Amino acid sequence: MAYILVLILATACNAQTVIKPEEIIKNLASGKAMQIKGAIIDGDLDFNKIEGTRTNGNVYFEKCIFKGNVKAEGVRFNGNVVFFASEFQKDVDFQSVSIFGNVNFSKSIFKGKAIFANSAIWAKNNYFSEVKASGKFSLEGSDFHGDLSIMDSEFSDAFSLQETFVLGYLQGSNSKFNGSTDFSMLNVLRRTIFKYATFKNEPDFSNSKITRE
C-alpha cells in the first residue's frame, strides 16, 4: 500500500517546465515523492526549509537545470536522492547530510562548487559517474556504507576524498583530475580502482588505507 501511495502522490513535470523551488519544497514537506524531468528550477532550492529538515519521499530529478544554489546542509533524506544528467549553474551544498536511499548524480554538470563533505550515505551503490565539475568538488570526511563510483568523470578544480570512508569498492577509472587531489587518510575496505585515470598534479595518498588497482 505504501508503494502505491508513493506512485499516486509523485509529481511529474514535462519538458520545458519552469518550476519555482517553493513548489518543490511544499510537495516534499507534505511527504510526496518528487519526479521531475526536463525542468528549469528558477531560484535557490533549499531543502532546509522543510519542517524537521527531513524528507520521507524519493527525490528524483532528470535532465533538469538548476539556476540557483542547491542547499541541503544537515538534511536527512529517508528515500532516494537522484539528480541524473542535470546541470547546476551555481553551488551545491550537501554537507553533513544523511541519506538512506540510493544516491545518483551521474552525468551531471557542476558549474560552481559541489560540497558533499561530512555526510553519512547508507546506500549500497553511490554514483557520481560521468560528472563534469568546474569548481571544487569535495566528498571529504564522508562515510559511504557501500560502493562509490566517480568513474568517467572530469574534475577541473580541486577534488577531495580526504578522510573519507568507503565500505565497498571505490571506482575512479577513466576519470580526469585537472586540479589538486587529496586522498589523504582515505579508508577503502575493498579495492580502489583508478585504471586509466589521469592526474595533472601528483595526488596525495598519505596515510590512506587502500588496495589500489
Q: Do 97 and 126 meet the contact criterion of CB atoms below 8 Å apart?
A: no
Per-residue pLDDT of the chain (213 residues; tens, 9 = 90+): 233 223 223 344 444 699 999 999 998 988 888 899 999 999 999 999 998 889 988 999 999 999 999 999 999 999 999 999 999 999 999 999 999 999 999 999 999 999 999 999 999 999 999 999 999 999 999 999 999 999 999 999 999 999 999 999 999 999 999 999 999 999 999 999 999 999 999 999 999 999 876
C-alpha cell at 1: 500500500
Sheet containing strand 114-115, strands side by side: 45-46, 70-71, 92-93, 114-115, 137-138, 159-160, 181-182
What does the pLDDT read at residue 213?
66
What does the pLDDT read at residue 120?
97
What does the pLDDT read at residue 34?
84
What does the pLDDT read at residue 211?
84
Please state, in angstroms and rounded to a whole number, the distance separating the CA atoms of residues 20 and 55.
18
Place of cell 546541470: 87
What does the pLDDT read at residue 68?
98
What does the pLDDT read at residue 181?
98
Residues 6+ apart with CB under 8 A from 142: 116, 117, 118, 119, 120, 121, 164, 165
Residue 99 pairs in a beta bridge with 77, 121
